[in-house]
Amino acid sequence: MEKRTAYCGEITEKFIGQEVILHGWVQKRRDLGGLIFVDLRDREGIVQVVFNPEFSLSALQVAESIRSEFVITVKGKVAARDESVINTKIATGKVEIVASEVTILNRSKTPPFYIEDGVNVSDELRLKYRYLDLRRPEMAETFKMRHTVTRVFRETLNKQGFYDIETPYLTKSTPEGARDYLVPSRVYPGSFYALPQSPQILKQLLMTAGFDKYYQIVRCFRDEDLRGDRQPEFTQVDLETSFLSKEEIQAITEEMLVNVVQEAKGIKVQTPFQRMTYHEAMARFGSDKPDVRFGLELVMISDIVRDVPFKVFTSAIEAGGVVKAINAKQAADKYSRKEIDALGEFVGTYGAKGLAWLKVEENELKGPIAKFFDEAKQVELRAALGAEAGDLLLFAADSESVVAASLGALRVKLGKELELIDESELAFLWVTDWPLFEYDEDANRYVSAHHPFTLPRAEDIPLLEEKPEKAMAEAYDIVLNGYEIGGGSLRIYQKEVQQKMFRALGFTDESAEEQFGFLMDALDYGTPPHGGIALGLDRIVMILAGKTNLRDTIAFPKTGSAVDPLTNAPGEVSLAQLDELGLNIQEKE
């Protein structure tokens, strides 16, 4: 096979007059006036090849048998296209290759779908023929970008003195966190490894070992029921450092992300990134990962409506809840009563029992609850919400968490519908000062808001025993355009603090020792103060590539039921394999 001289997508005017050799796939063949035109595609783009009997009859004859997706080698001379047939949509649109030789390297059946962007085909079919789906230019672009993103993360960390250190995938199942994928042991039948949900403890032990700065771009596994944006395996940019402050770790993270955005998108992002406490984010945006590209903030109006005679408001407040509102500027005309009712149903899925509303007119407020507001209250409300004629005011009254969830989701929905979001903007945000625990109603105990190794604020350590719900964590999440793209924290490095943490989580000292004894041991042997962060690579690529589904950023993803339609994994295995592992499959009931 002759050596390629360039990629198809690279052939621009500067090649005119040169002989080139290209390898690629036939995007399209057209026969026109005794000539054959072939659009030849490789990972870098498409170029037009023309077979002209006056130039090479033998090449033309071969070209006659060419079909879509055949793999061919073409030798030819680069020529300028006639002005009249210049294609301004592609980089190679001003030239064409006049073929002197062509070889068919491999044939193709007619693909089950067109190899082009935006083609309407089921996800199942795309995944079954993933090797065809990946040929589409937008997929090729995404994986080129993913490569760049990965490379720049690494280069930044390499320059900063981080060591790339691998941790095992066959590790131990731990009870905290999500459900583990298990791997049966053959040497010890009845025993199991677990695939890691993250290398959290092991990277902490690398700090105990003195490596000082660790990173790894590492696969992690969670056997959860999949939602649209979850996959059973996902990739984390995982780092850990010793002796650094939260602010220093955040600065390293910002440097990585700035470099990544610069190289992947050509955009210069300003640092330091915006910062906001968890409580502020929840109060203003009803979300711990707010999209700060637009306003529509939540405004607390409990004090204003406390004595308004509308029972929904007053009873919520009396029950310890709150009343909040958002002002959809100039949206009064955009939502009919029926459409507003639909918004009410929407917030219902977040627990709200209803959505009160008012439309603002020049001199009055209109809507079902207007009658409850006397003139003084109307003035007060207008002032609090900055309301002007044409605005739509939307109210939720419930517990603080239901109001936050409902109006937070409504805010995002309205932001999209009202086109308030600048899609070209990349709004990074640090969310800081997290609570250490959440109360898990099902388990009837406190669980870690992040993980059990998160350092409590020094002054809150006594709270671990008395009022865990009040304890704050040295944790920081990073948010991009409303997606959580990473979470980090300083870690516990003193044994007595870790013990208190496990106790607060409901472990006995014995059960903590049994599950986490090796970590507790390590804390006995000179573990330095340390902390780190883990970033979700798939999601970062998804946002930068302008995709809305993680599957489009993963070469061979799984479906919502964790199946790979390409290989048909998972599949059956032989009884001999099961016997070696000492396992039986349970009879179905």
Binding a copy of itself by CB under 8 A: which of 69, 238, 254, 288?
A: 69
Binding residues for L-aspartate, as ranges, are: 176, 222, 450, 491
Q: What are phi and psi of 436, to 5 degrees?
A: -75, -35
Residue 164 or 438: the one with the smaller Cβ distance to a copy of itself is: 164
Amino acid at residue number 286: G
208 near a copy of itself (CB under 8 A): yes
Among 75-83, 129-137, 382-390, 460-468, the segment contacting a copy of itself (CB under 8 A): 129-137
For the CB of residue 110, give the shortest distance to a copy of itself in the complex, in Å: 9
181 near a copy of itself (CB under 8 A): yes
Q: Which residue, 305, 310, 345, is CA-closest to 325?
A: 305
- The alpha carbons of the chain give a radius of gyration, in whole angstroms, of 30
274 near a copy of itself (CB under 8 A): no
Binding a copy of itself by CB under 8 A: which of 9, 15, 20, 25?
A: 25
DSSP 223-286: -----TT--SEEEEEEEEEES--HHHHHHHHHHHHHHHHHHHH-----SSPEEEEHHHHHHHHS
For the CB of residue 571, give the shortest distance to a copy of itself in the complex, in Å: 6
150 near a copy of itself (CB under 8 A): yes
Binding to a copy of itself, residues 282-311 (CB under 8 A) = none
245 near a copy of itself (CB under 8 A): yes
Q: How far apart are CA 269 and CA 264, in angstroms?
A: 12
For the CB of residue 471, give the shortest distance to a copy of itself in the complex, in Å: 22
Cα-based distances in Å from 361 to 87, 341, 378, 389: 53, 20, 11, 4
Pair 412, 482: CB distance under 8 Å: yes
Binding a copy of itself by CB under 8 A: which of 48, 167, 454, 499?
A: 167
Binding to a copy of itself, residues 399-458 (CB under 8 A) = none
Binding residues, as ranges, are: 176, 222-224, 231, 450, 484, 491, 536-539
Binding a copy of itself by CB under 8 A: which of 20, 60, 195, 276?
A: 195
Produce one character per residue of 87-121: b if its CB has 16 or more CB atoms within 10 Å, e if not.
Answer: eeeebbbbbbbbbbebeeeeeeeeeeeebeeeeee
The two tokens of residue 148 are 């760049």
188 near a copy of itself (CB under 8 A): yes
464 near a copy of itself (CB under 8 A): no
478: Cβ contacts below 8 Å, ≥ 6 apart: 253, 257, 273, 428, 429, 430, 431, 484, 485, 486, 487, 488, 533, 535
209 near a copy of itself (CB under 8 A): yes
Q: How many residues bind a copy of itself (CB under 8 A)?
A: 119
Residue 95 or 207: the one with the smaller Cβ distance to a copy of itself is: 207
511 near a copy of itself (CB under 8 A): no
Among 180-188, 443-451, 467-475, 502-510, the segment contacting a copy of itself (CB under 8 A): 180-188
28 near a copy of itself (CB under 8 A): no
CA angle 193, 194, 197 (to 5 degrees): 160
Q: How far apart are CA 432 and CA 279, in angstroms?
A: 9
Residue 105 or 379: the one with the smaller Cβ distance to a copy of itself is: 105
Among 89-97, 173-181, 322-330, 422-430, the segment contacting a copy of itself (CB under 8 A): 173-181
Among 48-56, 187-195, 294-302, 443-451, the segment contacting a copy of itself (CB under 8 A): 187-195
Residue 202 or 404: the one with the smaller Cβ distance to a copy of itself is: 202
Binding a copy of itself by CB under 8 A: which of 182, 267, 342, 443?
A: 182
Q: How far apart are CA 39 and CA 351, in angstroms?
A: 54
Q: Is the four-CA dihedral 367, 372, 375, 378 of positive or negative sign?
A: negative
Q: Which residue, 546, 329, 297, is CA-closest to 425?
A: 546
Count other Cβ atoms within 10 Å, centred on residue 427.
Answer: 18
212 near a copy of itself (CB under 8 A): yes
Binding a copy of itself by CB under 8 A: which of 62, 78, 102, 205?
A: 205
For the CB of residue 221, give the shortest distance to a copy of itself in the complex, in Å: 7
DSSP three-state, residue 556: coil
Binding to a copy of itself, residues 82-111 (CB under 8 A) = 105-109, 111
Pair 287, 315: CB distance under 8 Å: no
Produce one character per residue of 500-519: b if its CB has 16 or more CB atoms within 10 Å, e if not.
Answer: bbbebbebeeeebbebbeeb
585 near a copy of itself (CB under 8 A): yes
Binding residues for ATP, as ranges, are: 222-224, 231, 484, 536-539
